[in-house]
């Protein structure tokens, strides 16, 4: 009986660790993304997964579609899942600086 209790305890511990290290972070990321999508508004500048930067001109929340102007007079229809983040030039500059600093070979 003690072996079964020990095995059950180890299994519960393993499941708890799996939930804490895998499931919980994914849930948190999903909820953060859902909040971002819900807070979209007309006029927001966004970046798509393809790296295209544009401005939202209309939102069809029921369909899950946004119309994004990517150049003067060029409007594309996108599913909201294709939007990665809000466009912030300063954040992109900082990310680029971090990336280029990490990829440089060490100076001798």
Which CATH architecture best describes the domain 41-108?
A: Roll (2.30)
* pLDDT value of position 108: 58
* pLDDT value of position 66: 95
pTM (2 decimals)? 0.64
* pLDDT value of position 105: 55
* pLDDT value of position 106: 57
Got the DSSP string for 76-89?
A: EEEEGGGEEEE--H
Mean pLDDT per 10-residue section of the chain, whose length is 108 residues: 87 90 87 87 92 94 92 94 88 79 59
The residue ranges of every structural domain in the chain are 1-39, 41-108
* pLDDT value of position 48: 92
* pLDDT value of position 107: 61
* pLDDT value of position 104: 56
Pairwise CA distance, residues 2 & 15, whole Å = 20
Residue 79's nearest CA partner among 43, 31, 32, 46 is: 46
């Amino acid at each position: 009986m003690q072996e079964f209790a020990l095995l059950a305890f180890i299994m519960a511990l393993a499941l708890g660790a799996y939930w804490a290290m895998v499931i919980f972070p994914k849930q948190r990321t999903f909820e953060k993304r859902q909040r971002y999508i819900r807070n979209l508004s007309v006029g927001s500048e966004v970046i798509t997964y393809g790296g295209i930067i544009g401005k939202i001109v209309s939102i069809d929340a029921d369909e899950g579609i946004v119309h994004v102007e990517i150049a003067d007079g060029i409007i594309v229809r996108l599913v909201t899942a294709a939007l990665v983040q809000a466009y912030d030039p300063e954040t992109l500059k900082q990310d680029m600086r971090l990336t280029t600093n990490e990829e440089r070979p060490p100076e001798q």
